[in-house]
Structure 1
C-alpha cells in the first residue's frame, strides 16, 4: 500500500495522486519537445523566444505537480510553492514578452538555483535508497550549475538562457517520462516489489550532471575577456595643453616584424568637445638611419569598449586588418597606427565620428615625430580600412587646417565607411551586423545627448545591444553576441525608430566625410563586400568626383570586406604602386578613374 504524504493533504496533492499515468506521460513528452525546440531554435525572434520560455516555465510547474510518479516524491512539501513560482514566472514572461533579458535570466537562474538546492536537500532525507539519494543529488547539482550559468554569464542574452533552460526542461521531461512509464509497468506486475530500485533514473541524473559540467567547461573560453587595460594608458595629471605632443612612450615588440623597431605611445589630441584628450598609438619603423616616410594607418573596427584598442590585442595589427605590415616595412616605410580616442584610453570612443578620428590620426603622426629614434619624415600617406577608411578621408579633409605640418601626399580609403547613414541603416541586414550597429549606437548615445536607447532601440533588444557594445571583435565571447543578434533574424531591426531619421539621422549625416579632400584619393572596394556594398561605394565616389575630387577608384570582383586587405589581394599591388607614386612626388591625374579588376 502506498504511503500518503504531505501533498495528499491538499486538493492539488489529491489531484496529483489521481492523475492518470497517460497524462503524466503526455506532459513529460510535451516538456521534451518544447525543450528541444528551445535548444534547437535559440535564435528565434526575441518575442517568440520569450513565449517559448514562458510556456516552458509553466510546463516546469506542471511537472513539479504531476510528474513525480513515485511515493517518495509525494513527501516533498516544497513542490507546491516551487510549482507556483514557476507558474508565476512563466505567466509574467508570457504577459510581458518585451521585458528585458536581464529579468528573464534572473527569473530562470533563481528558480533553477532554488529547485537545485531543494533537490539536493531532499537527497539527505531518511528512508531513501542509495539510488534515490544519488539521483536527487545529481539532479540538484544540475540545477545549480544551470542556474549559475543563467545568472552570471557576463554577456547576458536570451540565447544563453534559452540553451540552459531548454536543456534543463529536456532532462526533466526525460526523467519524468522514465518514471511514469516505469511506474505503470510496476503497477501492472502482480508480483512487483513494494519499493523497486530505480537505477535507470539514477543513470539519467548522472548523465544530466555530465551534460551540465560539459556545458560549463565548453563555454568557459567564451566567458573570458580578451584584454586588460594596463597603466600605460592612464593619463598623468599634467599633460601638454596642446594637441599632437608625446606624453609617454615605451618599446613595443608584440607583432613587430623582424628588421623593425616598435613603440607604443600616449599623446595629446583634440576630442569631440574640443578639449585636450589623450589617445594611444603604435609606431613601427624599419631598422636603419634613414628618414622614413610615414604610412598613417587608420584601423578597421575592433570594438567600442576601452579594452578593444588594437595595441592591447595579442595581434595588434591583424586585429585592425593591417595584414601586410611586413610588406610595408620591407618597402622602407614607417607605420603610425592610432588606436583612436577611447580605445585603450578613457572613452567614450567616437566610433564613426569624423573629426575626432581625424584629429587622433594626425596628432599620432605629430607626436611620433618626437620619438628621436624613429627618424620619421614629414611626408605622409594616409591609409584606412572600413571604419578607418572613413577616418582616412576625414584626415585628408581636415589636415590642411588642423595640422598643416603633416604633409599629406595622398589618402587611400579601403572599403571606407564613407556613408555612415547608409551603413547604420543597412548593417542589421548583414549576418552579425547588429554588433556593428551596437558599437555605433553606443558611441552616438554617449556623445550626443539627443540620441537615447529609449527612443531608438526596441525594448526587447536593449540589453542585447548594450551587451554587444562591450565586446571586441576579437573577444572569445563575441560568438555569443553574434548568435544573439542572429536571434533577431526573423525581425532583424534592433531599432524601434528609423535610425536615419530624427536626431540620430542628423548626427550620422554630420559625420559623412567631406567630398573634397585636397589630396589625391585612392579607393579600393571589394565587389562582393557584404558589409559596405559596392553600390554604396559607387555612390560615395560619384559624390566626390562631382565635387571635383580626384579619385582613383578600383573595384575588385569576388573580394569581400576584409579579404581585400589580404596579402594575396590584387589591391595590395595597386595600393603599393599608388603610394610609391605619392612618396616619389609624381603628379596624380586630374580626373576620376575607375578600374574593374
Structure 2
C-alpha cells in the first residue's frame, strides 16, 4: 500500500506546470471546455438553489459503504463558486457504528482530474481513489469522515480557493444533517498536495467565511502554496507529468472564464490535448501529456504577460492570500520536494507572526511522495491530540 500511495503522491508535483502559459487577449470565439455533465440526477442543482443558505443540505441519500465500516451518506449542499454564484456541491460522509457527536474529519483527497466521473463521491466506491483504504485508519479511531468533491460541479482542478469554500460548506452540511448525529462534533481537516491546498484555504478562509464551525485543527502536507512559483520551477522542460499541469490550466479557465482564456494561445497540438483530457481522470491525463513541455502546446508567452491571469494565480495561492488560520496547524513538507519548501516556510512564518500555533515538520531528504508517507501518521496523531483538548505544539 505504501508503494501505491507514493506513486499517487508523485503525480501531484506538477499541479501548476502549465499555468505559466495561460493568458493573452480573449477572442470572441474562445471559451472554456467543460466536462460532460453528471448523468446522475442526484447532483443536479434545483431551480431554487439561491434560496438556500451556504451549507444547507438540498438533498441526501444513503449509499452502500463498500470497503468501510458503518454507514455512508451523500449530501448535495449549497455553496458558491469563485464569482460568488450559488453552486450545488456534494460531500460523502462515513460514520462508523457508535454514538453521535464523535470527532469529524473533513478529508480533502488529492484529486487531479477534469472529468466529473473522477470526483471523490464516485472514486471512493469504485476503486479508483487509491488513498481510500487509508480512510479506514480514521474510522478505526471512531472518527466520522467527510470527503467533499472539492473541485466543484465543473471539476475545476487548480482552483484552490474554491476548494476551501466547498470544504467549509461541506462541513456545515454534514453538521446540519441530523441522521449523521454530528451536529456538535469537533472538526479537524486534513489533506495532502492538492488536497492540502483545499485544506489550507479552508483553514485560512474559516475565520471570516465560517467562524461558527467548531474546527480544532488542520493538518496539511506537501502544499503548493504558490502556483506561479511551482510553474516556474517545473514547467520549462519535458516532464512525464506535464498533463497534470495542463489540466490545472483547463480547470482554472473553467472557474474563471472571463479572466483566463487558453484557446487564443494554444497551437493545434494544445487544442487537441485540451479536448482529449476534458473528461479525463488522472491516469488518462498523465498518459495524454507525458513528456511534453510548454512550447509543444502553446504559441508563446509567460505568466507575467497577462495581469488578469497573474491575479487568478495569486488568488489561488495560499502564500498570497492574506487570511490567517485561527486554529492550530500541522504542516509537513519534504526538504527535497520540487514543491518549494522555502515558500512553505515563508507561509508558516507569517502564520506564526499572526499568533497561529503551527508545527512545521520539514522531513529531511524527502521528495513529494516520501514526505506524504512520513507525515501522514503524525498528522493523525496531531488531530487526535486536538480532539482530546491537549495544548497545540508549535515550532514558531
TM-score by length of 1: 0.54
1:276-316 Cα distance to aligned partner (Å, 9 max, x none):
21001110011112321111111212312322212112656
Are the counterparts in 1 of residues 79 and 86 from structure 2 also a CA contact under 8 Å?
A: yes
SS of the residue corresponding to residue 292 of structure 1 reads coil
| Alignment partner, residue 578 of structure 1 | 382
Q: Does 2:277 align with 1:473?
A: no
CA-CA distance at 1:455 after TM superposition:
4.8
Shift of 1:558: 4.9
Tell me which residue corresponds to 1:158: none
Q: For residues 572 and 452 of structure 1, do their structure 2 counterparts lie closer, same or farther at Cα, with a shift above 3 Å needed?
A: closer
Q: 1:512 aligns with which of 305, 314, 317?
A: 317
The change in CA–CA distance for 1:391 and 1:501 in structure 2 (over 3 A counts) is farther
Kindly indicate whether the alpha-carbon contact (under 8 Å) linking 2:114 and 2:278 is maintained by their aligned counterparts in 1: yes
Alignment of 1:89-128 (within 5 A): none
Q: Distance in 1 between matches of 2:127 and 2:187?
A: 19
Displacement of 1:268 in angstroms is 0.8
Question: Structure 2 stretches of 5 or more lacking a match?
Answer: 1-34
1:443 to 244, 251, 255: 251
Q: SS state of the match for residue 103, structure 2?
A: strand
Mapping of residues 143-292 of structure 1, within 5 Å: 229-239=39-49, 240-257=51-68, 259-292=69-102
**Superposition RMSD on alpha carbons, in Å?**
3.0
1:456 Cα deviation after fit? 4.3
- Whichever structure has more helix as a proportion of its residues is 1
Q: State the distance in 2 between where 1:552 and 1:495 align.
A: 44
Instruction: Give the 3 Å change call, closer, same or farther, for CA 546–493 of structure 1 in structure 2.
Output: farther
Contact 1:386–1:414 under 8 Å retained in 2: yes
Q: Of residues 163, 171, 196 in structure 2, which corresponds to 1:365?
A: 171
Q: Structure 1 residues 538, 501: closer, same or farther in 2, change over 3 A?
A: farther
Counterparts in 2 of 1:497-536, with a 5 A limit? 497-502=301-306, 503-513=308-318, 514=321, 516-530=324-338, 532-536=339-343
1:303 and 2:113 matched: yes
Cα pair distance change 1:341/1:571, threshold 3 Å: closer
1:552 aligned to 2:356? no
- Tell me what 1:35 maps to: none
CA contact (8 A) 1:410 1:521 kept: yes
Q: What is the deviation of 1:427?
A: 4.1
More relative contact order, 1 or 2 (CA 8 Å, 6+ apart): 2
| Counterpart secondary structure, 1:449 | coil
TM-fit CA distance, 1:561: 2.8
Q: Distance in 2 between matches of 1:522 and 1:289?
A: 28
- 2:67, 2:133 within 8 Å by CA — same for their partners in 1? no
Q: Aligned equivalents of 1:587 and 1:421: distance in 2?
A: 36
Compare CA radii of gyration and give the structure with the larger one. 1
The 3 A distance-change label for structure 1 pair 364 and 320 is farther
Q: Tell me which residue corresponds to 2:6.
A: none
**If the length of structure 2 is used for normalisation, what is the TM-score?**
0.79
**Shift in CA distance, 481/327, structure 1 to aligned 2, threshold 3 Å:** same
Deviation, 1:557, is 3.8
Deviates more, 1:311-320 or 1:261-270: 311-320
Task: Provide the residue aligned with 1:18 in structure 2.
Answer: none
Q: Map of 1:358-397 to 2, 5 A cutoff?
A: 358-376=164-182, 377-397=184-204
CA shift for structure 1 position 266: 0.9
Q: Deviations over 1:397-428 (max 9, x none)?
A: 12122222211111111111211222333343
Taking the aligned partners of 1:544 and 1:433, their CA distance within structure 2 comes to 32
2-side partners of 1:282 and 1:320: how far apart? 16
- For structure 1, the 5+ residue unaligned runs are 1-224, 593-597
Q: Distance in 1 between matches of 2:249 and 2:371?
A: 27
For residues 461-485 of structure 1, the C-alpha deviation after alignment (integer angstroms, 9 at most, x for no partner) is 23213423431115xx4453133xx
Aligned residues: 354
Tell me, yes or no, if the aligned pair for 2:239 and 2:293 is still in contact at 8 Å. Answer: no
